[in-house]
Structure 1
């Protein structure tokens, strides 16, 4: 087997972040007296959040700032008198309890038992630890590398250095990273010199000029990638 270590992204790779985010947002808005908050403000929130996450990948902001700033901008835009930092804390608390596996995640991890499996994710340590730890995958991974703890976020080289140090990896040729984000997971892997597998369930067009080693639209297809090699 060519790959001895598989590095998995978490959100929208192993766990369905879209469902988790929407449910956590709804519960937070409900707590602040806005039962239709998701319906009214989700589109704006997604636009704002997308910009800030891209800035995070580019090293233009940090995770703590992002967590509050996205709500600060949202509430300013819609003239809502809500304390952004307080709302962020409530939202993250609910998010940490939202656990929804991507179809095939359990089966893939079970079938890759001969490989060393690890997580490499951008996000808040408490939230990601809680979600992974509360999932059926809790005892699956040798290490869980989270950007807030590592001090670097994908695609930065630093988070890969941190992961390789934790896992004591010396041969990049034996490592594969699997993730849904071209700009984070795939670009990070390419820049670090490891093979990449783009999980693209919605078959999005790749017009970024970022070329993964492999592309799959179902998580279970990862088995073909690993076994065929």
Structure 2
């Protein structure tokens, strides 16, 4: 039996997240060079903050401020200003990943499509609008706007309401994060597809695993939509 709904993560699932390039451009505006050491320090700090954010331990404003707390003094600006310029650069560089546009075109109208993303509302909505793909999706849920993050079961429950309480076994969640996307959706009773974008090859307890987005169309309950 075909899926009735397919849900997607956004970053590194539907769209690339060109953080190093955007950060380099952001700092260059202030005549600061992004060295490998600065990038590594930023990534370590940012990753830790995102883990706290996903666990509900800090809010989005704290994350956005603190991740630039070390770089902002080098640029001579506040972390808020650096964060806003970084967002602008992300919007400039972000684009759908290979295979996304053509895959969504084949699925649209044959199955319900939604996005559930741990991110910030303004930038996520702007990136989706820029891509021209907004009309492909029946709904977009952004953790910042809801006050709850994946893998918290409450965000999947909210998605369930958007899907008119479709049986969870008829829903597929597609995402790149084994914890927030795969484990979170599985705990809610959904089938899952780990998009191993970077071909890490880890053992992930997902219903399906793909390394190319277009492979989604070959999954049995997705292929049934196209038959």
TM-score between both structures, scaled by the size of structure 2: 0.90
Question: Distance between the aligned counterparts of 1:96 and 1:184, measured in 2?
Answer: 23
| Segments ≥4 residues shifted beyond 6 Å | none
Alpha-carbon contact 1:7-1:117 (below 8 Å) kept? yes
Alpha-carbon contact 1:123-1:147 (below 8 Å) kept? yes
Alpha-carbon contact 2:55-2:149 (below 8 Å) kept? no
Give the SS at the match of 1:90: helix
Aligned-pair CA distance for 1:138 = 2.4
Which of 209, 217, 222 does residue 211 from structure 2 map onto? 217
Aligned-pair CA distance for 1:94 = 2.6
Question: Distance between the aligned counterparts of 1:216 and 1:171, measured in 2?
Answer: 24
Structure 1 regions of 5+ residues with no counterpart?
A: none
* 1:1-229 correspondence to structure 2 within 5 Å: 1-17=1-17, 19=18, 21-34=19-32, 36-37=33-34, 39=36, 41-74=38-71, 81-113=76-108, 114-206=110-202, 210-225=204-219, 226-227=222-223
1:60-112 CA-to-partner distances (Å, cap 9, x unmatched) read 21222111111114557xx7654212211221233233331111001111111
Alpha-carbon contact 2:5-2:163 (below 8 Å) kept? no
CA-based RMSD: 2.0
Provide the aligned length of Structure 1 versus Structure 2.
222
Alpha-carbon contact 1:178-1:199 (below 8 Å) kept? yes
Give the SS at the match of 2:114: strand
Alpha-carbon contact 1:68-1:85 (below 8 Å) kept? yes
Give the SS at the match of 1:45: helix
1:179-208 CA-to-partner distances (Å, cap 9, x unmatched) read 00001101111111111000003221425x
Question: Distance between the aligned counterparts of 2:60 and 2:188, measured in 1?
Answer: 22
1:14-73 CA-to-partner distances (Å, cap 9, x unmatched) read 1011x2x22321222122221x22655212111111111112222221222111111114
Give the SS at the match of 1:126: helix
